[in-house]
Amino acid sequence: MKVLYVASECAPFVKTGGLADVIGAVPKVLEQLGASIKVLLPAYPALAKVLKGGKTVAQLGDLHSGNARLVAVRKEGLDLLLLDAPHLFDRPGNIYLDDSGRDWADNHLRFGALSAIGAKVALEGAGRWKPDVVHAHDWQAGLIPAYLRQAGKGAPPSIVTIHNIAFQGLFDASVRHTLGIGDELFTYEGAEYYGKLGFLKAGLALCDKITTVSPTYARELLTPKFGMGLEGLLQARSDDLSGILNGIDPDIWNPATDPDLVTTYSSRSLKRRGKNRTEIESRFGLTPYPGAPLFCVVSRLTRQKGLDLLLEVLPDLVERGGRLALLGSGDSDLETGFKDAADRYAGSVGVIIGYDEALSHLLQGGSDAILVPSRFEPCGLTQLYGVRYGTLPVVARTGGLADTVVDADNAAIKSRRATGVVFDPVTADGLRQAIQRACDLFDKPETWRSMVRAAMRYPVGWDGSAPQYLELYDRMTRPGTGKETR
Ligand code: ADP
Ligand code: GLC
């Protein structure tokens, strides 16, 4: 089975969130299962060195007023295809946003080009390699099914994965001409979305199969509350929609070998976590208080993540003796809110605004609990890292959070299956009570330790999910099924 992955980010090369972690991990697991996966990515500056070591496999000529080529290179266990188009991708700063924090004005060209070249590789291959299936991730690769539909016969089947439906890639209708999307596809059944060109809409309407990153989110997406306007289309396509849970890369996220920890540990040497905790306290300016839990947050600071609720309940957390170490960046009102809170509750609340991969590992390796009060969460990875590291997740009952954390109710505690605290409704009150419960559990060291051990035993790798992707690719390419039935 040969599959072309097309995405806008991929760890460890370029990452703004969980999409990168997933794209960096799944292809490696699928390779172990016998598949051949190539990952098409834009050649951002972060990939400059990797690009230099690669081999040109195709000259692409002019691509929106600049020369482009396709470069193949194997790096970090991944077969990469890099779209080298300096006029589109060789620019400093955030891969999606300009210096003023706005979307790059030419994002339709940048990711339209990624989609167009994705479709070209799907149709013609790269060198001697030609995919059986093309797998597009999020809106940045959303136009691929549209280009394949325009190509007609001979196109391989396509699958679109929704990592987050909040980002849909909506652009002025007129850009379709520049992008070569024909009027016959600019319809309600195709790429048109309330008069605009919708990259994700096009992908979801025109692909063969749709997946998202947890079973619960797959169900939630069919409702107006979570579908963000696309619920009708998804309901119509519900036979083709499934939820396949994300996993984590167990080599990168392993407390027994993690180079970013002060001390590594396993479930049999939990005491060693103490040194990591001490380092967190010192980095975040926290006054040590072993009698109460150290909560952490590692997150984009956006409304999705529900961190405004955390701001509301911080006084209660602090009153209870709890500590909070927060690492994140994003919306300026949340950044300001947390910086103010760190001043007000100096010693109890420590805040570092920014993006710091190594520090995110340390927080997982030394905190007692990780807070993820998201309003919606397609899967979420930080709670999975928490589970692996014995940093018990306190999470909202939504999406992948609901699918990956076993709430500490009496039955689960008794049967030693509890791995965290799951709460609803997702309100300040709900979160306040969840934090109280976590503190109460922490007060019972034996129960807490047993939960930490249950968490560290809980399967969070790709063993369950990677075969589900393979099975789906198989079904799509089997004669008489998948593509042929549409
Ligand atoms: P999302 O993709 O919605 O942001 P996920 O939980 O799926 O949420 O993935 C977030 C990823 O980004 C995780 O790997 C997390 O550790 C990482 N991350 C988020 N914010 C930061 C930060 N400020 N510094 C370092 N890593 C971060
Ligand atoms: C998105 C979602 C997150 C998910 C990640 C990887 O960024 O917000 O929940 O874990 O994609 O699939």
Q: Are residues 303 and 204 in the same domain?
A: no
- Per the structure block, which two tokens stand in for 199? 């990259």
- Averaged pLDDT of the chain: 96
Beta strand segments in 89-179, E: 133-137, 158-162, 170-171
pLDDT in tens, 202-257: 999 999 999 999 999 999 999 999 999 999 999 999 999 999 999 999 999 999 99
Q: Residue 101's pLDDT is what?
A: 87
Q: Residue 483's pLDDT is what?
A: 52
Place of tokens 């996966």: 37
pLDDT in tens, 371-412: 999 999 999 999 999 999 999 999 999 999 999 999 999 999
Whether 258 maps to a domain, the answer reads no
**Average pLDDT value for residue range 90-113:** 95
- Per the structure block, which two tokens stand in for 455? 């968490």
Burial of 414 (0-12, 13-18, 19+ CB in 10 A): exposed
Taking the centre of ligand 1 as the mean of its atom positions, its distance from the CA of residue 334, in whole angstroms, is 16
**Of 82, 81, 83, nearest in space to 64 by CA:** 83
Q: Are residues 11 and 69 in the same domain?
A: yes
Q: Are residues 113 and 243 in the same domain?
A: yes
Cβ-based neighbours of 305, under 8 Å, separated by 6 or more: 299, 372, 373, 374, 375
Q: Residue 479's pLDDT is what?
A: 79
**Average pLDDT value for residue range 271-277:** 97
With cut-offs at 50, 70 and 90, classify the pLDDT of residue 153. Answer: confident
- Degrees to nearest 5, angle at CA 274 with 271 and 278: 175
- For residue 327 and ligand 1, the question of a CB distance below 6 A is answered with yes
State residue 138 phi and psi, 5-degree precision. 60, 180
HSE-up (13 A, CA, CB side) for residue 150? 19
- Per the structure block, which two tokens stand in for 305? 């993540």
Q: Is the peptide bond before 157 cis (omega within 30 degrees of 0)?
A: no
- For residue 303 and ligand 1, the question of a CB distance below 6 A is answered with no
Whether 77 maps to a domain, the answer reads yes
Q: Residue 72's pLDDT is what?
A: 98
Let me know: does 14 contact 57? Beta carbons within 8 Å: no
With cut-offs at 50, 70 and 90, classify the pLDDT of residue 486. Answer: very low
- For residue 302 and ligand 1, the question of a CB distance below 6 A is answered with no
Q: Residue 213's pLDDT is what?
A: 98
Q: Are residues 98 and 114 in the same domain?
A: yes
Ligand lying closest to the C-alpha of residue 296:
1
* pTM across the whole model: 0.96
Q: Are residues 104 and 237 in the same domain?
A: yes
Instruction: Tell me the CATH number at 52.
Output: 3.40.50.2000
Q: Residue 485's pLDDT is what?
A: 38
Assess whether pLDDT exceeds 70 at residue 299: yes
Let me know: does 382 contact 203? Beta carbons within 8 Å: no
Q: Which structural domain range is residue 418 located in?
A: 270-457
Distance separating the N- and C-terminal Cα atoms of the chain: 21
Q: Are residues 237 and 360 in the same domain?
A: no
Taking the centre of ligand 2 as the mean of its atom positions, its distance from the CA of residue 78, in whole angstroms, is 21
Whether 254 maps to a domain, the answer reads no
Taking the centre of ligand 1 as the mean of its atom positions, its distance from the CA of residue 386, in whole angstroms, is 12
Q: Are residues 80 and 229 in the same domain?
A: yes
**Average pLDDT value for residue range 104-119:** 98
The residues facing 159 across adjacent strands are 135, 209
pLDDT in tens, 427-462: 999 999 999 999 999 999 999 999 999 999 999 999
- Degrees to nearest 5, angle at CA 200 with 232 and 470: 95
Taking the centre of ligand 1 as the mean of its atom positions, its distance from the CA of residue 122, in whole angstroms, is 30
Q: Residue 430's pLDDT is what?
A: 98
- Give the SS3 label for residue 440: helix
Whether 265 maps to a domain, the answer reads no
List Cα–Cα distances, 219 to 203, 426, 481, in angstroms. Answer: 19, 18, 24
**Of 369, 384, 370, 394, nearest in space to 459 by CA:** 384
Whether 264 maps to a domain, the answer reads no
Q: Are residues 60 and 143 in the same domain?
A: yes
- Give the SS3 label for residue 82: strand
Assess whether pLDDT exceeds 50 at residue 484: no
Following DSSP, what letter does each residue of 176-232 receive, concatenated? HHHHT--GGGSSTTTTEETTEEEHHHHHHHHSSEEEES-HHHHHHTTSHHHHTT-HH
- Per the structure block, which two tokens stand in for 379? 């899967």
Q: Are residues 369 and 291 in the same domain?
A: yes
**Average pLDDT value for residue range 355-384:** 98
Look at the chain and report how many structural domains it folds into: 2
Mutation pick for ligand 1 pocket among 8, 138, 260, 299 (CB with most ligand atoms within 8 Å): 299
Q: Are residues 202 and 283 in the same domain?
A: no
For residue 481, give the amino acid letter. T
Assess whether pLDDT exceeds 80 at residue 146: yes
Q: With the C-alpha atoms ordered 315, 316, 318, 319, is the resulting torsion angle positive or negative?
A: positive
Q: Which atom of ligand 1 is nearest to the CA of 364?
A: 16
List Cα–Cα distances, 432 to 113, 312, 415, 439, 449, in angstroms. Answer: 46, 9, 26, 11, 23
Q: Residue 405's pLDDT is what?
A: 98
- For residue 360 and ligand 1, the question of a CB distance below 6 A is answered with yes
Q: Are residues 276 and 242 in the same domain?
A: no
With cut-offs at 50, 70 and 90, classify the pLDDT of residue 481. Answer: low
Q: Are residues 217 and 282 in the same domain?
A: no
% of the chain beyond a pLDDT of 90: 96
pLDDT in tens, 159-213: 999 999 999 999 999 999 999 999 999 999 999 999 999 999 999 999 999 999 9
Mutation pick for ligand 1 pocket among 245, 360, 375, 379 (CB with most ligand atoms within 8 Å): 360
